[in-house]
Amino acid sequence: MAQTIVIASDHGGLELKSALVEYLLSAQQVVHDLGTMSDDSVDYPDYAAQLAKALSRGEAARGILICGTGIGMSITANKFPGVRAALVHDDFTAQMAKEHNDANILVMGGRVLDVASARSMVKIWLETPFEGGRHQRRLDKIASLEDDIRAGRI
């Protein structure tokens, strides 16, 4: 059974987001599109925060964010506890994002990627299992840092 994939973009990622929503639906995925729905200029932190908050609260298991380069979305999303947003540029980084980092948000640049490449990266990210082992130990350290920050110890 497919888990819901939450997706959002700013105006710079709208075209790629629309193509990925179509691709995900054709692959029998459940998609919840948080916007934007037009090419009017919007602020990427608003969309990244909405999506990342849903993951941080456990309301969604994975998401995709797209802005012009992916950089702004990555910076914003990774402010939220439990979020592991990975900016990817090719099939290898998409694979490693999941296999080694168990990224729960895939981030892409709508102005730097073509649709075919983005589809391939999404497919790889969805199908690649998390390797665990030494990589889980590293994720546990990240979670511990998040706990320390929330508790004011750092």
Interior angle at CA 104, CA 103 and CA 106, nearest 5: 75
For residues 73 and 66, is the Cβ–Cβ distance under 8 A?
A: yes
**Candidate list 11, 32, 89, 100, residue with the active-site label:** 100
Q: Decide if 32 is catalytic.
A: no
**Candidate list 11, 32, 67, 135, residue with the active-site label:** 67
Q: Decide if 135 is catalytic.
A: no
Residue 87 dihedral angles phi and psi, to the nearest 5°: -80, 120
Catalytic residues, which ones?
A: 67, 100
